[in-house]
Structures are given as structure tokens and as C-alpha cells.
Amino acid sequence: MTATRLKPGDTIDGFTVESVVPAGAMARVYRVSHPARRQFGMVLKQPRLGGDDAEFLLGFETELAILPALTGPHAPRFVTAGDLERAPYLVMEWVDGQPLAQELQRAPLPADEVAWFGALVADALHDLHRQDVIHLDLKPDNIVIRHSGIATLLDFGLAHHARFPDLHLEEQRFAAGSAPYVSPEQVLGVRGDARSDLFALGVVLYELATARLPFGVPRSMAGMRDRLWRMPIPPCVRVPSVPPWLQEIILRCLEPDPAARYPSAAQLAFALRHPESVAISQRGWRRTGPGLAEQAGRWWRARHIQPARKRLPNLLSGEAPIIMVALDAGNPDDPRHEALQRNAKLIFSAGDFRLVLVSVIPVDLERSESAQLRHRVWMRHWCDPLGLARNKISLHVLEAADPANALLDFARTNLVDLIVLGAPGPHEAPLGWWRSVASSVTALAHCSVHVVRVPTESRG
């Protein structure tokens, strides 16, 4: 097998090399063109064959298996591959945009920029996890922000697909450049937990917010085990202007126990987009680093952590849904409110859900503030009987002329998995089903819709 170095002007199986792209240690990357494929720019990736052939090829094989199975804008489109035994190469979409590594040069970035980038990457991770793939090598070099404002992830050589055999399970090695971002459970050999990607994103957020790495650059496996128990220096200690909500988000992502992090990328994206909804705990408020006694305590509690002998069950976003309930908070006497409460309770056996209550008010510059307050007070009153933890709920009042579109946009932007709303109520009923908010939302939503009806007296 050969993977001879190419130069501009060379051709291989119909592809012409236009230029060489600076790339990492594992592969050579070239911009290429092909007369029959003009839809988008392309790159050709060759594994760098050297002393450790087996390892580089494993990454190449993994990307070759996984990339064609991915759809959507958050991964490069797969074009074709060369014969693995004769001339191995991968051709994929050239992702045009700004690598996040370049934004890092401006770090520390202000909180709202950190949150904006973070939400884009979380959106990408959500889409990936929904396709049963965990990236497992997330770092600034592997994130490109397209000009359209979408994050695309590169390099799937270490990725895990839940429904394919995983060649990396037997032996995992981490490239030096990846080590700072690797999650504690990956260090222990676990590759089936999607929350590992959230840890890596936490490291990236920390870096964007403070220009430092939370666990430094480990130079050995022993150094990598630090993250199993050590608490990083809180971001606001490094950069005092980091607000408590961002520190809360970052430190939650960096929790050694995956169950303590955000249960899904969508919920993390939601927190980054709605800082006011973040329930700040002690870790968000703290302004000093952990002392010796505290670190010792953490080390002591973590000492029993063993490498997993079996793969953990995949925890992908389907088990941690975001449920949006649309309430007509402007009509407190509406008979649907109680029915919605009952239905909400029925749905709440769904694991690590996040509940988002939304009400829509007409645009009215003069009275908007008091209307907002009134709606919030009422929504809080509505959800009290549900007895849910404060950090699982958030309230939003949207101002819009068209309630259906406002609800649809909000649901799409916030990666909602299920919309719950009432069938046309007494105020809307005269208009008929086809002109109601419920019918528009049901017809056009990107996700499932649960329409709640008040049981009528007679059974016909």
C-alpha cells in the first residue's frame, strides 16, 4: 500500500490537487477539484504512513466508516474514498469558515461571545449525538465556524458510532494535542458516553473565557488522571469578569462524574443561550480556588473509581429531552390549564428532561414590562403543583404578533424535543381548527407535538 506525498498539479483517480492544507500529525490534507463534482469545494485526506502505521490507519479506517453515515451541516460531507489497500484516501467537503483555534488567539473573550461559540458547538454535538455518534476528540483545531454561523466538526478518526463495531476499544492512545480535552471516563477506557463531548466542550469554553487550560497540558497518563478528581481553578479567579452563570456552566461541564454534567448537548446549548435560566450553585459563585483540604477530599472520594469493564450504555440525547409547554398565560381562567398540568405530569417520567414554559404576548411597547411580569408570575403559579426542581424549569415570555411562528422558531432554535400545548380554547374555538395556533404548530413543528384537550362532559 502506498500513500505517496502529493503536490499541486498531481492527479489521483480524477481528482486534481490544487494546494496543500496545513494539517495535523495523522494525515496529509490537500484542496482538490474534480471536473464532474462542482457542487462544493473538496479536500483529500491521506493517512500519514510512518513508524506507527497501525495507529494512523485505525483513525483513518474509523473516519472512513463513520463519515459517510453522517448527514447535516455539522460534519463534512463525504464524497468518496480510495481503495484502502491500494491507495488509501478520503475525499470530503472543504469546510469554509474560521477554525475556533483562531478565535482563541483573542482569548480571554467576553462572556457573551464565549456563550455564543459554545452554543454553536453544542448544537453541532446535539446533531451528532442524535445520529448515534460521539466525537471524542473535540478541540479548537477540530471546530470550524462557517460563515453561515454554524459550527462544523472535523476529524472523526477517534469517533464512536453506537451501531458500528469500535476499533478503538481495544487500545486507546491520545495524541498530545488532544490530551487537554479528554474526559475522565475516556482516560478510564469508556468510549460510549456522549457526555464526554460535553466535558471537552467545557475545556474549550474554559480556554475561550480565560486563555488557560483547566488541567494544563498533561505529559503522561498519570498527568491525565488528575481530571478524575482535581477541581480546576474557577474561571473567575483567572479572569474576574467571568460572570457566575458562565462559571457555573463551565464547571458543570468539567465535573468528573458524567452524571453531574448537563445530560445532553441540547440542554447545555439551552443554558448558554439563556443565562438567566441557569440555576447558579456554589460552584458558580465561588471566587477562590479549592484549598489543599478540599482537593485532598476530592482525591479521597475518587480513589475507588475503576475503569469500566463493560461499555456503559449510551446516553444520547433521546433520554434527556427538552419539553416545551406553551401556555396561554393571558387567560388565567382557561379550562385547559389544568388539563395541561395533568398531561405534563404524565410526560415527566422521561428521565433527565428540561421543562421550558413559554407564553406569547402581543407586541406592545408601552405595557410590555408589566405584561411580562404578570405572565411570569402566573406561569410560576401554574407549575408549582408539578413539584419540579427549580433547575429543571425556565420561563419565557415571547413578544410577537404571530404566536404560532414565535413558538415554532423558539422550539427550533432551542432544540426542543416535544411541544405540549392546548387544543383551541374558548377564545380561539370560533375560528376553527385550521386557523388555530395548535394546528399551525402541529403542522409545522420540527419535533413531536402533544395536543391536550379538555375532556368534554358527554361521551356522545
Partner 1 sequence: MLALLSDIHANIAALEACLAHADAHGAKRYAFLGDLVGYNADVREVVQRVADYAEQGAIVLKGNHDEAVETSSAYLNDASRAAIDWARSQLSAEERRFLAELPLVHREDDLCLVHATVDHPERWHYLDSPAAAHRSMEAAACPYTFVGHVHEQRLYTEQQGRAHAFHPSPGTAIPVLRNRRRLAIVGTVGQPRDNNQAAGYCLFDAAQARVTFFRIPYDYRATAARIRAAGLPEALAYRIERGF
Binding segment for partner 1 among 20-28, 89-97, 156-164, 257-265 (CB under 8 A)?
156-164
24 binds partner 1 (CB under 8 A): no
> What is d(CA 357, CA 423) in angstroms, rounded to the nearest whole number?
17
Contact in structure between 248 and 283 (CB atoms under 8 Å):
yes
Q: Which of 165, 291, 430, 460 binds partner 1 (CB under 8 A)?
A: 165
H/E element holding 244? helix 244-253
CB count, 10 Å around CB of 120? Answer: 21
- The whole-angstrom separation of Cα 33 and Cα 30 is 10
- 224-233 per-residue burial string, b: 16 or more CB within 10 A, e: under 16: bbbbbbbbbe
Stretch that binds partner 1, among 71-79, 160-168, 381-389, 440-448 (CB under 8 A): 160-168
Q: CA-based angle 319:419:124, to the nearest 5?
A: 55
- Of 88 and 140, CB closest to partner 1: 88
49 near partner 1, rule: CB under 8 A = no
Residues in contact with partner 1, total (CB under 8 A)?
16
* Subset of residues 61 to 80 that bind partner 1, contact rule: CB under 8 A: 61, 64-65, 68-69
Q: Binding marks (x or -) toward partner 1, 83..122, rule CB under 8 A?
A: -xx-------------------------------------
Q: Would you say 90 or 253 has its CB closer to partner 1?
A: 90
**Which H or E run contains 339?**
helix 336-347
| Least distance CB 155 / partner 1 (angstroms) | 18
167 touches partner 1 by CB under 8 A: yes
The CB-of-157 to partner 1 minimum distance in angstroms stands at 14
C-alpha cell, 356: 421550558
Stretch that binds partner 1, among 100-108, 163-171, 318-326, 444-452 (CB under 8 A): 163-171
Q: Count other C-beta atoms under 10 Å from residue 279's C-beta.
A: 14
Least distance from C-beta 132 to partner 1, angstroms?
9
Closer to partner 1 by CB, 25 or 169: give it. 169
- Distance between CA 284 and CA 245 in Å, rounded? 6
Residue 312 φ/ψ region, left for φ over 0, alpha for ψ in the -120 to 50 degree band, beta for the rest: beta
Beta strands in 74-225, from DSSP E residues, in sequence order: 78-81, 90-93, 97-99, 133-134, 143-146, 151-153, 160-161
Find the shortest distance in angstroms from Cβ 54 to partner 1: 8
| Binding test (CB under 8 A) with partner 1, winner from 36, 51, 149, 170 | 170
171 counts as binding partner 1 under rule CB under 8 A: yes
- Indicate the residue among 64 and 415 with the shorter CB distance to partner 1: 64
Q: Is 55 in the site for partner 1 (CB under 8 A)?
A: no
Instruction: In angstroms, give the least distance from the CB of 315 to partner 1.
Output: 16
Whole-angstrom Cα distance, residue 94 to residue 40? 7
Contacts to partner 1 by CB under 8 A: 54, 61, 64-65, 68-69, 84-85, 162-165, 167, 169-171
